[in-house]
Amino acid sequence: MTTRSSIHPGEFLISLALIALGSFVVYDTQSIAESQNAAQIGPRLFPYIIGAGLTICGGVLGWEAVSGGWPKILSSLKSLLETGEPLVETKDWPRNL
């Protein structure tokens, strides 16, 4: 008998907030004026990196909140290495997660 993990609402809401904040930072970075000097790296690079990092962290946290995340995958890998059979919950991964 397999049971699916429930969604952790607090983590899921935080992940949505991180995705929204990261998207806003990336969107708002486009309004930063670039100077016409010889520098190869402009003033937009750091905010783009921060916005992308926030969005990626929000996506990973959301995936963890919905699917049970890495602990379930690592447990299945350990079971596969020890017994030759993955856990039942992750046998059809990623379709059933």
Query: Is the residue at 65 inside a domain?
Result: yes
- For the chain, helix (H) and strand (E) counts, in that order, are 3, 0
Query: Is the residue at 1 inside a domain?
Result: no
pLDDT digits (tens, 9 = 90+) for 35-51: 777 567 778 889 999 99
Q: Which structure tokens are listed for 37?
A: 């000097």
Residue 11 — very low, low, confident or very high, per pLDDT cuts 50/70/90? confident
What is the arithmetic mean of pLDDT over 62-67?
Answer: 82
Asked whether residue 72 carries a pLDDT value surpassing 60, the answer given is: yes
pTM for the full predicted model: 0.64
CB 23 within 8 A of CB 58: no
Measured CA distances, 85 to 34, 72, 78, 88 (Å) = 56, 14, 9, 9
What range defines the domain where residue 67 resides? Answer: 9-31+42-90
Q: Please give the pLDDT value at position 82.
A: 82
Count structural domains, the chain.
1
Q: Which structure tokens are listed for 59?
A: 């996506």
Query: Is the residue at 73 inside a domain?
Result: yes
